Amino acid sequence: MVHSARPPACVPAASVLLLCTLAVLAAGCGRDGDGRRVSPPESSVPAAVPKAAQAEAAPDPAAPAEVQRMLGRWLRSDGTYVLELRGADRSGIVQAAYFNPKSINVSRSIWLRGAEGVQVVVELNDAGYPGATYVLGLAADGDRLVGKYNQPQMGQSFDVDFIRQKKFP
């Protein structure tokens, strides 16, 4: 694992800033000035969706191709952590599962298009993982997800990468 170059005192603030930014963006998405639901434009940031709604979502061919390429089973290069991205739709919902080696609750998973291209944000909420988040993008080789793992409980942030698993049960 590679630790972030930021001093430890800055890491919680950075994590809080990331989560607050995502919450603010998600809160306003899909509503007009009177609070009525509207269809998001292609380039909008998707709203976060509760896990129950994620389970019902089916993969949508209308999700951008770069998001579809992120789907699959991914093994973190420094351990037995497995991330499965099973489906995505145009609204920004991603069906995700996380294992270490047993299943860890994924409380939220979305994709968004930002300054660094398309990224997947996966938030964990389980014993030992309260509010832990991954923010990952697809590497140019197409076989690695790279990004940050933020562990607010420990006040740490790590550079991480996941390797695509070609075959899995």
At 3-31, the pLDDT tens digits run: 434 444 444 444 444 444 444 344 444 44
> What DSSP designation does 152 have?
T
95-150: pLDDT as tens digits: 999 999 999 999 999 999 988 899 999 999 999 999 999 999 999 999 999 999 99
For CA atoms 112, 114, 120, 125, give the dihedral sign: negative
Please state whether the predicted TM-score (pTM) of the whole model is above 0.75: no
Enter the tokens of residue 108.
Answer: 């939220």
CATH of domain 2-32+47-164: 2.40.128
Sorted by where each begins, the domain ranges of the chain are 2-32+47-164
93 φ, ψ (degrees, to nearest 5): -75, 135
40-82: pLDDT as tens digits: 334 344 445 455 444 444 544 568 999 999 999 999 999 999 9
